[in-house]
Amino acid sequence: MNWQLLSASTSNSVESLHADLNKTQQERDNLLRKVAELRMQKENIGSGSCTALNSEFSWQELQQATENFSESLKIGEGGFGPVYKGSLRQTMVAIKLLHSQSLQGITQFQQEITILTKVRHPNLVTLIGACSEESALVYEYLSNGSLEDRLTCANNSPPLTWQVRARIMSEICLALIFLHSNKPQLVVHGDLKPANILLDTNLVSKLSDFGISRLLNLPDTNSTAFLETTCPIGTFAYMDPEYSSTGILTPKSDIYAFGIIILRLITGKPPVNIANQVKDAVGDGAFGSVIDVLAGAWPFEQTKELAMMALRCADISRSKRPDLVNEVWAVVEPLMKAAASCVEPCSLGEKNIPSHFICPIFQEVMHDPCIAADGFTYEAEAIKWWLESGYKTSPMTNLEFADHNLICNRGLRSAIQEWLQQHPQS
């Protein structure tokens, strides 16, 4: 009897060991399959996507451009690797190195190229090329660093004026409207925060760091496009609470982060608990106490209305967050126009040029300004290039043009010429 019990026990143990071994082998096979897929994706990037960019750089070129990745040229450190400034083929660029040995690093490398080669907008950073052999990405260099740097006055930089902040809000809003309505697949940024918003010489903002962004199929019905994941990735203070708890990412996740960014631009405060601070101040009738006075004299009522909209954006419940086009833009646009009417000059190198003299596409002083059907003024060459490239929607609103007619903005052209004559060295 004891031998029978011992035999049965041994048999059960052997069966259990076999089951554990089979499970381990399956997990190993799945992991090896995943590694093979990622390696194949990386090879495809080297042969396909980078060709679309027309700029495949060698590792040696990047080393020379950055003086062998000198610490003195390091301008940032992301979650997936450092960023360096460099001179590449007589052009100033920013070079981001990804941890190529990391599976996440390879995925981010692929995702960034996939998205930035499919979508183009004046307020998205330009991807110039890549080095597939070492998983490095090459971008346009934006000299004023990140919005985070400017909000914290890093390196003793002066505070941004409310006019510049209002314009940045409008640029981010338009960029999100563009991404969320992109066809055939909309784009959810997924990690929207001031550190991922870069500023050029004119303090024009451009969204960057699309490594964890997602392309989602536009739904055929009025239902919301979404992606479900078991491992939410993002930055705590800006992460949609519902995405964090459920793993479901939607365009409303970006709207939550945008609400926090608006509150930071208005108040200058750190992001943690900022929504509750503003909500309490409004409830106590002391909204003025949280406005960042270093930005200048904000138009109080418009700013308060915007703060209330930002609180709706940052609502814990996704269903209560407002629509970007019909609700948020309706509040952001008037403040942007109020800022523009103040003719706040923006810096262009050592020059001071009124912001409305700058083409939204080329980011240069206009010489032949034309009004398009969206109501915005562009350099004629720039808007013609945009239309001839096959874009049917406005680069500023992402709404479809009613027509492609252009009207010469003679009044603005005269103002620009007069200004240039008064500033001959500019």
Same domain for 122 and 152, yes or no, is: no
**Last residue of some domain: 140, 161, 181?**
140
42-51, 131-140, 365-374, 400-409: least confident range:
42-51
Token pair listed for 162: 């409310």
CA angle 28, 31, 36 (to 5 degrees): 125
Q: CATH number of the domain that 135 lies in?
A: 3.30.200.20
Interhelix angle 162-180/251-267, nearest 10 degrees: 180
Higher pLDDT, 230 or 164: 164
Same domain for 28 and 58, yes or no, is: yes
**Last residue of some domain: 92, 122, 140?**
140
Same domain for 161 and 201, yes or no, is: yes
Average pLDDT over residues 158-175: 92
Same domain for 192 and 333, yes or no, is: yes
> Is 191 an annotated catalytic residue?
yes
Same domain for 397 and 332, yes or no, is: no
- What tens digit of pLDDT does each residue of 210-252 get? 766 665 655 554 445 555 554 557 688 999 998 888 888 889 9
Q: Residue 336's domain spans which residues? A: 147-341
Give how many domains the chain has, as a whole number. 3
Cβ-based burial of 178 (10 A; exposed 0-12, middle 13-18, buried ≥19): buried
Higher pLDDT, 63 or 215: 63
Say how far apart CA 104 and CA 118 lie, in whole Å: 21
**Last residue of some domain: 88, 108, 140?**
140
Question: Does residue 91 have a pLDDT over 80?
Answer: yes
Same domain for 46 and 120, yes or no, is: yes
Q: Which of 20, 29, 149, 191 is catalytic?
A: 191
Say how far apart CA 394 and CA 387 lie, in whole Å: 9
Residue 140's H or E segment, with its range, is: strand 136-140
Same domain for 190 and 275, yes or no, is: yes
Share of the chain above pLDDT 70, in %: 75
- Please check whether residue 52 lies inside any domain of the structure: yes
Residue-wise DSSP of 363-410: -SB-SSEEE-TTS-EEEHHHHHHHHHTT--B-TTT-PBPS----EE-H
Say how far apart CA 198 and CA 176 lie, in whole Å: 15
